Amino acid sequence: MLGPLKWQSSLIERYNQQGPRYTSYPTAVEFSEAFAPEHYLQALAKIKQQQTPLSLYVHVPFCASVCYYCGCNKIITKNRQKALPYLAAIEKEIQLVSKQLGCKPIVEQLHWGGGTPTFLTHEQTIQLFKLLEQHFQLADDFDGDYSIEIDPREADWPTMGLLRSLGFNRISLGIQDFNPTVQKAVNRLQSEAETEAIFEAARALMFKSINVDLIYGLPFQTTKSFLETLDKVVQLAPDRLSIFNYAHLPHRFKPQRRIKAENLPSAKEKLSILQHTIEHLQAAGYHYIGMDHFALPDDKLAIAQNKGELHRNFQGYTTHGHCSLIGLGVSSISQLGDNYCQNHTSVEDYIQSLEKHNQLPIKRGIQLNQDDLLRRSIIQQLICHFHVDLAKYCQPLNINWHSYFQDELTQLHPMASDGLVTIDDSKITITDSGRLLVRNICMVFDSYLAKNQPSNLFSKVI
């Protein structure tokens, strides 16, 4: 079991630069349009041959209203019928993918994200879930993890009952902040009663796990106001919490232009919010998993981390790292062996690719080489377990770890002097003071950052 985090303000302020979140390595910035649908077909053929279990991600991009902080791929509409052409395209994609995989492959993990998946009508939800059951073999309720993102403003007891009856057994609940001033500033008015009702329904219906999303750094937030929200959330006792850092990037995300920069908390106040949040959650019994994520000690994520079995992919931290990830829907990303593949990010292009050209809607991707795979393993180990033995990963490849990573080890020495890591021969261990800065440490092993990519591609690490 990892110990509690140690907060050192001077180090955090000094190392708080922009960098990737490493839901993949290489990051999506490196994906190329030279990666075509035929490359995806080849990757699916390998998965069929290996018969690996699957993790499915389904992207539902519709929202009834826009949250100004949001950077997701979404469509804002109140007309539920506008989802019909999109659902028809997803049906076609499911058919094409399952055809390549042959007989029904086993699915151990399913996640519907968005947008707002509960935007769909009950009939549309049933249709989409039954379609997945028709083409894939979903593991039973005990072995399978089937989650869906919930907006309490778009769900009620009948909706929760429907989701549980279909087979969903985990939910991720968007809250962000209970403070009405903050909610008004980001155009997300959500009462505590609406949120509590979803918790009550989830518990009564025996959902296995509840995750809550909060965001710090939103307009008008203070340490005091955010801790008031946190107190209310802790009383609800979710199994997991995701405490996301709001990255104000209005040049990339148009809705964020509605947020005035002068209303955002200062850098100092933002760090104070995070520091007190960490202290608050640790005192309440939550363990810091890493990268904004906290979980109770009996949660699957915490157990997997203790066993050294935790993984990270485009869905965040996962206990299903042995599964091949297939993304369905606009902008979705698949991870198949040494391939990353992303669908078209435009809904129009996504639908046209499937309906007009009858081909899988791949926009771009990348096939990893030996160096990519080696560095991915190292970054994965660091970001999930906070330690790595370079020799363990280099020896099977007949690589001398010391000479291969000589430059990286040189870069790590100042971090070791600052107490962020310890280096013992080929073993690198991130300290309790360095775990919040794990992204910085992973960046040392990122060979693509040397290209001097524009810094505004990434958010700050804290």
CATH code (residue 191) = 3.80.30.20
Task: Spell out the residues 6+ positions from residue 450 whose beta carbon is closer than 8 angstroms to its own.
Answer: none
- The pLDDT confidence band at residue 73, using thresholds 50, 70 and 90, is confident
The pLDDT score that the predictor gives to residue 420 is 96
At residue 346, the pLDDT reads 95
Q: Give yes or no: residues 211 and 106 share one domain.
A: yes
What confidence score (pLDDT) does residue 134 get? 96
Sign (positive or negative) of CA dihedral 317, 320, 321, 327: negative
Q: What is the three-class DSSP state of 339? A: strand
Task: Give me the mean pLDDT over the 120-141 stretch.
Answer: 96
Q: Is the pLDDT of residue 252 over 80?
A: yes
If pLDDT is split at 50, 70 and 90, which confidence band does 1 have? low
Q: Is the residue at 462 inside a domain?
A: no
Question: Phi and psi at residue 215, in whole multiples of 5°?
Answer: -130, 130
| Helix (H), strand (E) at residue 197 | helix 192-204
Q: 328, 360, 384 — which closes off a domain?
A: 328
Residue 460 has pLDDT above 90, yes or no: no
The confidence score (pLDDT) of residue 42 equals 95
CA distance 333 to 342: 4
SS (H, E, C) 29-43: HHCECCCCHHHHHHH
Q: Domain check: are 270 and 384 in the same one?
A: no
Distance of CA 373 to the CA centre of its chain: 20
User: Locate tokens 């080489």: which residue?
Assistant: 369
Please indicate, yes or no, if residue 344 is contained in any of the structural domains. no
Shared-domain flag, residues 195 and 324: yes
Taking the CA atoms of 193, 234, 10 and 247 in sequence, report the sign of the dihedral they define: negative
What is the per-residue pLDDT for 72? 87
263 within domain boundaries: yes
Torsions phi, psi for 82 (to 5 deg): -70, -10
Q: Is residue 244 part of a domain?
A: yes
Cis peptide before 285 (omega within 30 of 0): no
User: Is residue 282 a contact partner of residue 274, using CB atoms and an 8 Å limit?
Assistant: no
Give the residue from 426, 286, 306 showing the smallest Cα distance to 5: 286
Distance of CA 419 to the CA centre of its chain: 29
Assess if residue 383 is contained within a domain.
yes
Whether residues 106 and 248 fall in one domain: yes
Closest CA to 170 of 94, 108, 232: 108
The neighbour count for residue 249, using CB atoms within 10 Å, is 13
Encode pLDDT of 195-219 as tens digits: 999 999 999 999 999 999 999 999 9
Could you tell me the sign of the dihedral formed by the alpha carbons of 114, 120, 123, 124, in that order?
Answer: negative
pLDDT over 80 at 181, yes or no:
yes
**What number is the average pLDDT over the span 425-430?**
96
Q: Which domain range does residue 422 map to?
A: 370-454
Domain annotation covers residue 252: yes
Q: What is the mean pLDDT of residues 377-406?
A: 97
Give per-residue pLDDT as tens, 331-377. Answer: 999 999 999 999 999 999 999 999 988 999 999 999 999 999 999 99
Pair (413, 292) in one structural domain:
no
Structural domain includes residue 354: no
Pair 311, 376 in one domain = no
Taking the C-alpha atoms of residue 314 and residue 320, their distance in angstroms, rounded to an integer, is 12
Domain stops at, among 268, 296, 328: 328
CATH number for the domain harbouring residue 447: 1.10.10.920
Instruction: Identify the pLDDT of residue 453.
Output: 58
The percent of residues in the chain predicted with pLDDT above 90, rounded, is 87
Of the candidates 297, 313, 328, which is a domain's last residue? 328
Quickly list DSSP for 82-145.
Answer: GGHHHHHHHHHHHHHHHHHH-S--EEEEEEEEES-GGGS-HHHHHHHHHHHHHHSEE--TTT-E
On the question of pLDDT at 454 being above 60, the answer is no
Pair of tokens at residue 22: 């490493």
The backbone torsions φ and ψ at residue 240, rounded to the nearest 5 degrees and listed phi first, read -140, 155
Integer Cα distance of 113 and 148 in angstroms: 6
The pTM score is 0.94
Work out how many domains the chain is built from and give that number.
Answer: 2
Whether the ω angle into residue 26 lies within 30 degrees of 0, i.e. cis, is yes
Q: What is the mean pLDDT of residues 59-72?
A: 94
Domain annotation covers residue 268: yes
Answer whether residue 451 shows pLDDT above 80: no
**Residues 99 and 212 occupy one common structural domain:** yes
